[in-house]
Amino acid sequence: MANFEEVFERIKLATGTRTQVEIAEVLDIRQSSISDAKRRDSIPSDWYMKLFEKFGLSPDWLKKGSGPMYLRTDEGYQPTDGPQAARVMAEKVQYADPNTKGVVVNVHGGRCEGDEAAGFRPQVVGKLNVPQSLASESLLVLRFDATSMEPLFKRGAFVGIDTAQKAIVSGEVYGVFVPYEGLTLKRIFMDAENNRLTLCSDAGGHPEMHLPADNFQGRIAGRVVWVMQTV
pLDDT by position in tens, the chain (length 231): 578 998 998 898 888 888 888 889 888 899 999 999 999 999 999 999 988 888 888 888 898 887 788 775 434 554 433 333 333 433 333 444 666 667 888 999 988 877 665 578 888 999 888 888 898 889 999 999 999 999 999 999 999 999 999 999 999 999 999 877 889 999 999 998 999 999 999 998 889 999 888 878 788 999 999 999 988
Please tell me whether residues 224 and 121 are part of one structural domain: yes
Supply the pLDDT for residue 163. 94
| Rounded Cα distance, 38 and 142, in Å | 30
98 lies in a domain?
no
Please tell me whether residues 114 and 87 are part of one structural domain: no
* 110 SS3 class: strand
Please tell me whether residues 138 and 113 are part of one structural domain: yes
Please tell me whether residues 83 and 123 are part of one structural domain: no
Cβ–Cβ < 8 Å for 93, 100:
yes
Domain of residue 124, residue span: 105-228
What CATH number did the domain enclosing 10 receive? Answer: 1.10.260.40
Which residue, of 91, 122, 137, is where some domain finishes? 91
211 lies in a domain?
yes
Please tell me whether residues 117 and 214 are part of one structural domain: yes
Beta sheet of 220-228, edge-to-edge order: 121-131, 102-113, 139-144, 157-162, 220-228, 173-178, 182-191, 196-200, 209-212
Total domain count for the chain? 2
Which residue, of 56, 91, 126, is where some domain finishes? 91
Supply the pLDDT for residue 107. 93
Please tell me whether residues 120 and 185 are part of one structural domain: yes
Please tell me whether residues 66 and 39 are part of one structural domain: yes
pTM: 0.58
Supply the pLDDT for residue 78. 44
Please tell me whether residues 205 and 138 are part of one structural domain: yes
Supply the pLDDT for residue 201. 95
Supply the pLDDT for residue 88. 41
Phi and psi torsions of 208, nearest 5°: -70, 155
99 lies in a domain?
no
Please tell me whether residues 151 and 213 are part of one structural domain: yes
